[in-house]
Amino acid sequence: MNFIFLGPQASGKGTQAILLSKKLSTPHISTGDIFREAIKKGDELGKTLQSYIEAGNLVPDDLTNKTIEKRLRENDIKNGFILDGFPRTIDQAEFLDKIIQINKVIDIQISDKEAVHRISSRRSCACGKTYNLLYNPPKKENICDLCGAELFVRSDDKPESVKIRLETYHQKTKPLVDYYKEKNILITIDGERPIETIYEDIINKISK
Ligand SMILES: [Zn+2]
């Protein structure tokens, strides 16, 4: 089966996508991971991607579509896959429909207020370690457990950037909910519950 996970930033969709990917032994394809990998390389593509992401904007459709098309040509997706972070616009969804069939779309819903609360609780360290004051705070206040450096709020976790991302989500990604509802493949999940409860709910609903 081929799955898509939908949901705003901090909805926990990445966590759930990874859990499902382990259970089904199918690849978890995250555009965020693919983009971060490219940014780390620091080449022309990486720099272009970084400029969009840091401003809280979506990476343009043609760039994202090309990246995903290339990934979906690999052999490991034969028995299914889980897409996380794609599609994010109707144009991307239509592009995807042309290259492959999607069986289920899992929409994890949280309120804007909850999203802002979760994201503004994130802290990062220059060494790469990340924390969330709500779920995994550092042992000493504002100090990295691993390297002892002072923690900071990443530029795309700052309220201005989060607000832009949520606005973009409502404008461009929310219409996908109706798009997949019309195709009768949408599953709606309440994301404001414990991780295990959400996971069980997903397993229940996809096996129906
Ligand atoms: Zn550190």
State the pLDDT at residue 32: 85
Q: How far is the CA of 148 from the centre of ligand 1 (A)?
A: 6
151 in helix, strand or coil? coil
State the pLDDT at residue 165: 87
Q: Is residue 117 part of a domain?
A: no
pLDDT tens-place string over residues 54-76: 887 778 998 899 889 988 999 99
- Maximum alpha-carbon separation in the chain: 51
Q: Is residue 101 part of a domain?
A: yes
Q: How far is the CA of 168 from the centre of ligand 1 (A)?
A: 31
State the pLDDT at residue 66: 86
> pTM of the full predicted structure?
0.84
- Strand blocks (E) in the chain: 2-6, 28-30, 81-84, 104-109, 122-124, 130-132, 186-190
Q: Is residue 82 part of a domain?
A: yes
pLDDT tens-place string over residues 78-126: 999 999 999 999 999 999 999 999 999 999 999 999 999 999 999 999 9
Structural domain boundaries enclosing 98: 2-111+157-206
State the pLDDT at residue 54: 83
**Residue of 154, 183, 205, 208 with catalytic role:** 154
Q: How far is the CA of 149 from the centre of ligand 1 (A)?
A: 5
Pair of tokens at residue 54: 């840091």
Q: Is residue 190 part of a domain?
A: yes
What's the CATH number where 85 sits?
3.40.50.300
Q: Is residue 169 part of a domain?
A: yes
Domain count, the chain: 1
Return the sign of the alpha-carbon dihedral for residues 206, 198, 2, 87: positive
